Structure 1
Amino acid sequence: MMEIKSIEEQGRIILEISGRIDTTTAGSFEKQVLQHFPDSGEEIVLDCERIEYISSAGLRSLLILARTASGRHMHIALCRVPELVREVLEISGFDSFFEVRHERNG
C-alpha cells in the first residue's frame, strides 16, 4: 500500500509519500505525483521519510517524473530519504537525477 498527502508550504508543493513503491503501486504513485505538477518552473518536494521500499518499477516511475519535470523546467527534490531507499537510489545512479536533501527546506 502507498499513500500520498499533498501540502503547500512556503509556496512549494510537498508530497508526503508513505508505504511501498513497487509493481503494484508504481503506476498510481506516478499518476498521483504528475497530477500535482504545475505547468512549468516550480519546485516539487517529495518527502520520502515514510517510504518503506522501492522496487525497479518505482525507480522507473521516478525516472518518468524526472524527465517530465525537466521538460517543464521544473525541479524535483527528494528529502528525508530512508537509508535503505537512499542506498537503492545511489546504487542505481538515480541520486544523480534528483537533489537529495536531509530536510524539506534544503
Structure 2
Amino acid sequence: MQAILDNPQITIIRPNGCLDAVNAIKLERELGAVLNQSNNTIVLVDLEKVDFINSAGLMALVSGVKVALALQQRICFCSVAPAHRIIFELAGLDKVFEIFDAGTIFNS
C-alpha cells in the first residue's frame, strides 16, 4: 500500500489508492512506527496517489499528527488533490495539518 523512502532527515510516506477503513489502520501503524524513530526531522506524507479519503482515512492522518505533536516531531502533507483539500478545509484540518505543494517542503 505505501512506499516509504528513508533519508536521515526526511521520511516520505506515499499511500496510494483509497484511505478507507481497510487501509487506515495500516497507515496509522506505519505513521506511528516512523514517528517513533529518533532520526526523523520531518515525516512527509505525499498524498499524490491517493484517490479517495473517507472518515477512517482522515482519522489515521489526524492520529499521525497527534503522535507527531506528542513526540515533538514534524509531520507535513504534500500533493493534496483539490477534492481532498476541500475535505480538510470543511473538517477544519487545514488549520492543523501542515500542507505544502509538491516541491515547497524542501524550501521551508
Equivalent residue number for residue 6 of structure 2: 8
User: TM-score with structure 2 length normalisation?
Assistant: 0.86
Which secondary structure does the structure 2 equivalent of 1:6 belong to?
A: strand
Which secondary structure does the structure 2 equivalent of 1:46 belong to?
A: strand
Equivalences, count: 104
Deviation at 1:34, TM superposition (A): 1.5
Equivalent residue number for residue 29 of structure 1: 27
- Higher share of residues assigned strand: 1
**Any idea what the Cα deviations from partners look like across 1:50-88, whole Å, max 9, x if unmatched?**
010111111111111111100100111100111111111
Deviation at 1:39, TM superposition (A): 3.4
Q: Please, which runs of 5 or more residues in structure 2 have no aligned partner?
A: none
Structure 2 counterpart of 1:95, one-letter code: D
Deviation at 1:28, TM superposition (A): 1.1
RMSD of the TM alignment (CA)? 1.8
User: TM-score with structure 1 length normalisation?
Assistant: 0.87
Q: Is the 8 A contact 1:6 1:14 kept in 2?
A: yes
